[in-house]
């Protein structure tokens, strides 16, 4: 693990501890730095604000799973890996998903997936998506975004496999065809 990644992970771990007793939006950079024993300057070398820590960790995990949808993971496998990683980091994301503002993990994840799915679909399609297709992607993304949040906040009851199957079966069929057509995957 590189030095920068190691430092970022220390911030994530410490934020996870602080969120056990204080909501994410109430955690101050100064509290995080004090708990970690580093300066505010060190924090700002790695993150913009306290929300950026949670969002960065989300992106870090999604780059190993969901953000690979249609690249080297099928739609099913990308979702399965996402749910598996979230379950492995249950406490952190249970606390991080309690924040619902524009900078939240939930909102950021939705915006990122919308962009990734549309970019990959357009690339595979060879031309822009129709207005109806864009609307279908928006419906799916919005549902997926809030269902993921609710699954996390609700205790992560259904297994990652069950959740991946539900998400896969809920995706617009044209999107599955476009994204899975080039995915080098073992499932679906």
pTM, to two decimals:
0.93
Q: Using one digit for the tens of pLDDT, what is the confidence trace for 82-94? A: 999 999 999 999 9
Q: Which residue has the higher pLDDT, 75 or 103?
A: 75
Please give the Cα distance from 71 to 89 (Å, whole number).
24
| pLDDT value of residue 187 | 42
**Is 1's pLDDT higher than 90?**
no
Helix (H/G/I), strand (E/B), else coil: 88: helix
Q: Using one digit for the tens of pLDDT, what is the confidence trace for 107-160? A: 999 999 999 999 999 999 999 999 999 999 999 999 999 999 999 999 999 999
Please give the Cα distance from 52 to 165 (Å, whole number).
30
Q: How many CB atoms lie within 10 A of CB 59?
A: 16
**70, 177 Cβ separation under 8 angstroms:** no
Within 8 A by CB and 6+ apart from 53, the residues are 8, 11, 12, 15, 32, 47
Q: Which domains are seen in the chain, by residue range?
A: 3-180 (1.10.357.10)
């Amino acid at each position: 693990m590189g030095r920068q990644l190691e430092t970022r992970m220390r911030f994530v771990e410490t934020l996870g501890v602080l969120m056990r007793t204080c909501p994410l939006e109430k955690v101050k950079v100064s509290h995080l730095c004090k708990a970690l024993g580093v300066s505010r300057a060190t924090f700002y070398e790695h993150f913009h604000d306290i929300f950026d820590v949670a969002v960065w960790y989300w992106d870090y995990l999604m780059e190993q799973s969901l953000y690979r949808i249609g690249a080297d993971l099928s739609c099913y496998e990308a979702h399965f890996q996402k749910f598996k990683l979230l379950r492995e980091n249950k406490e952190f994301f249970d606390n991080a998903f309690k924040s619902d503002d524009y900078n939240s993990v939930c909102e950021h994840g939705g915006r990122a997936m919308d962009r990734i799915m549309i970019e990959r679909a357009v690339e595979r399609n060879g031309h822009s998506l129709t207005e109806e297709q864009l609307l279908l992607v928006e419906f799916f993304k919005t549902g997926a975004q809030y269902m993921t949040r609710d699954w996390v906040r609700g205790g992560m009851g259904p297994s990652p496999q069950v959740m991946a199957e539900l998400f896969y079966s809920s995706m617009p069929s044209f999107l599955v065809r476009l994204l899975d057509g080039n995915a080098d995957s073992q499932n679906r």
